[in-house]
Amino acid sequence: MRATSQLRVHLLLRLLLICFYLLSILTFAAAGVGDKLEKGQNLTDGDTLVSAGGSFTLGFFSPGASSKRYLGIWFSVSNATVVWVANRDQPLLDRSGMLVFNDLGSLVLQDGSRRTVWSSDFSGSASAAVVQLAYSGNLVVHNGSSDDASLWQSFDHPSDTLLPDMKLGKNLWTGAEWQLTSWRSADDPAPGDHRRTLQTTGLPEIILWYLDVKTYRTGPWNGIYFNGVPEARGYADKYPLLVTTSAWEVTYGYTAAPGAPLTRVVVNYTGKAERWEWDARRSTWSNLFQGPRDPCDDYGKCGPFGLCDPDAASSGFCGCVDGFSIPAATTPSAQTVKVTTCRRHAALDCAGGTTTDGFAVVRGVKLPDTQNASVDTGVTLEECRARCFANCSCLAYAAADISGGGDGSGCVMWTSAIVDLRRVDMGQNLYLRLAKSELDDHKRFPVLLVAAPLASVVIILLVIIAIWWRRKHTIMGAIPQKHSMAVPIVSLAVIKDVTGNFSETNMIGQGGFSIVYKGQLPEGRAIAVKRLKQSVLTTKGKKDFAREVEVMAGLRHGSLVRLLAYCNEGKERILIYEYMQKKSLNVYIFGTRYLLEHKCFLKLLREQNFLTQC
């Protein structure tokens, strides 16, 4: 008897618990834990959006000890790990901030007195309907239909963190550059002095900057990994690296394999680039990579033609490549900065197409800075050698791509100084041009090292110069940069690419002055390409073109097509508009001429009130 009543109480308790659990789930859902805002909806301090999958949260936060409020996105499992901040240098002073998704389709952050402190620098579009925190942590404005081309996205405006599916580098279409900028301190997300960019000349390589001074480079992309970061091979299965070089973009990014732990790459406020991985078992981040990691990673540490060896701490890490040495100081007056630079032993013998020079192999290195190097990925290494040999200004060459195995393929040629060379595990071979006399093994000079006292004098001098240099640049860097909303100019080659070289199948209409083509950007967005006919390119025609660019560039209204870019290369005059399915072709064909005759448009221009319904 007793046992049954006990069982009953137990069951009742269980039932109550289940009810309580269900109730809590329901109230949680009612509190609005969604991932979207529709047009006209607001997000106030205390509200959050949570991405599908739950990894990311968007809301208001105060970093560290600061009491200031910022709108940002963080990892749901680690709410102090902020990956994106909207109002980096415009903090809110209290909890009365509000994010408004307005009628123009722009995101606007307002303070308590409804003043705008930040807005998405997106000039709005009638089709913008939804802002959504995507699975990846990307905050995206899109039109809400199945065609999911984004109109604005936070991934295009990185803070200090690179997440999977983000990019660093250049968009050659708009000229925009994606880069990471450190926070100013642990509790101030304002842009700091450290940046991480993708160098897009030469071979792609990632550069860390302090103001305008390079501090660390990863080494060039070799088809598999960045040449100076061989440890990336250890996590390439989980987080495959992706480098894209095309007419559209030169970018670096990475993805996350299904099931891989959360990860992030960050430039911290002390000027280190780091990759972290979430350890769910211990609820903490574990470090996979950090750069710079040793003295040899300091950019240009050993000067031109220097070779840094991380295992040579006793001799100050620095030496010279074969055929070069640091001259011994003979007199006190020779104790200048110049003394530490490597000097060539024997002059090259190359002129008028004849040469007796040859090449020495420098094995296992992080290749020198390729900023000014010329690159051709389409040739063999033998062809590369022949080219370098035949060109007296070529000082060294190397393979551009080792993904095919062997000695690699493609060609990088250096014609100016060899800078930032170091020894590295699984490094590549650099082929260095030397005079014939230097190539005979028995005549090789030992590397001469400067005496320690002299070295310290020089280091002190360098530090003084560096401090002076940084001061000068801090002042220069403090001048604020104006954000330009100008319409970008694009090259004819790019336009030909998107319109299939102005193919007739892409033609969507024709007027007296222009032909309109439909084009498609690589990310899927459709555009209308309006190409003026050669017959109208009189002085007046050119003036009309300039006027259309000027008027359309200044307009932002939901019911007007938006000018995205233009081109005036040679005899071509081309305007690129947002493509709108429902718009009459006349809008593109006649442009402002047509629009200016439109009563409603005139009214709009006069009143500068873009919210009236036409």
Ligand X SMILES: *[C@@H]1O[C@H](CO)[C@@H](O)[C@H](O)[C@H]1NC(C)=O
Place of tokens 């102005």: 502
**Looking at 371, 506, 568, 592, which residue binds ligand X (CB under 6 A)?**
371
Alpha helices in 31-175 (DSSP H): none
> Contacts with ligand X in 246-305 (CB under 6 A)?
none
419 binds ligand X (CB under 6 A): yes
CB of 607 to ligand X, least distance (A): 21
Cα–Cα distance between 412 and 374 in angstroms, integer?
Answer: 6
416 binds ligand X (CB under 6 A): yes
Cα–Cα distance between 494 and 178 in angstroms, integer?
Answer: 20
CB of 74 to ligand X, least distance (A): 24
374 binds ligand X (CB under 6 A): yes
3-state secondary structure of 15: helix
Q: Which stretch binds ligand X (CB under 6 A): 314-322, 377-385, 386-394, 481-489?
A: 386-394
391 binds ligand X (CB under 6 A): yes
CB nearer to ligand X: pick between 300 and 591: 300
CB of 268 to ligand X, least distance (A): 25
CB of 364 to ligand X, least distance (A): 21
Cα–Cα distance between 162 and 165 in angstroms, integer?
Answer: 8
CB of 13 to ligand X, least distance (A): 42
Of 562, 497, 574, 559, nearest in space to 151 by CA: 562
CB nearer to ligand X: pick between 413 and 561: 413
Q: Which stretch binds ligand X (CB under 6 A): 233-241, 365-373, 446-454, 587-595?
A: 365-373
Q: Which stretch binds ligand X (CB under 6 A): 259-267, 387-395, 444-452, 551-559?
A: 387-395
Pairing of strands 358-366, 374-376: unpaired
Q: For residue 405, what are the contacts with CB-CB under 8 A and spacing of at least 6?
A: none
CB nearer to ligand X: pick between 213 and 536: 213
Distances in whole angstroms, Cα of residue 356 to Cα of each of 203, 241, 352, 390, 432:
29, 42, 12, 11, 14
Cα–Cα distance between 285 and 65 in angstroms, integer?
Answer: 21
- Compute how many residues bind ligand X; rule: CB under 6 A: 16
CB of 383 to ligand X, least distance (A): 13
Of 151, 155, 391, 418, nearest in space to 307 by CA: 418
CB nearer to ligand X: pick between 35 and 369: 369
Q: Please answer whether residues 198 and 206 qualify as being in contact, where contact means their C-beta atoms are separated by less than 8 angstroms.
A: yes
Q: For residue 561, what are the contacts with CB-CB under 8 A and spacing of at least 6?
A: 528, 577, 578, 580, 583, 587, 588
**Looking at 82, 83, 100, 490, which residue binds ligand X (CB under 6 A)?**
100
CB of 492 to ligand X, least distance (A): 24
Tally the C-alpha atoms within 13 A of residue 260's C-alpha that lie toward its C-beta: 18
Residue 471 is classified by DSSP as H
> Contacts with ligand X in 511-540 (CB under 6 A)?
none
CB of 372 to ligand X, least distance (A): 4
For the four alpha carbons of 598, 604, 610 and 614, in that order, the dihedral sign comes to negative
CB of 503 to ligand X, least distance (A): 35
* Structure tokens, 82: 């902020």
**Looking at 79, 116, 315, 372, which residue binds ligand X (CB under 6 A)?**
372
Binding mask 35-74 for ligand X (x = CB under 6 A): ------xx--------------------------------
CB of 366 to ligand X, least distance (A): 13
CB of 144 to ligand X, least distance (A): 18
81 backbone dihedrals φ, ψ, rounded to 5°: -95, 90
| DSSP string over 408-434 | -BSEEEE-S---S-EE-TT-EEEEEEE
413 binds ligand X (CB under 6 A): yes
**Looking at 66, 78, 143, 415, which residue binds ligand X (CB under 6 A)?**
415
CB nearer to ligand X: pick between 232 and 392: 392
| DSSP string over 302-340 | T-TTEEE-TT-GGGTSEEE-TTEEPPPP-SGGG-SGGGG
**Looking at 114, 443, 543, 603, which residue binds ligand X (CB under 6 A)?**
114
Radius of gyration of the chain (CA): 30
Residues that bind ligand X (CB under 6 A): 41-42, 100, 114, 369, 371-372, 374, 391, 393-394, 413, 415-417, 419
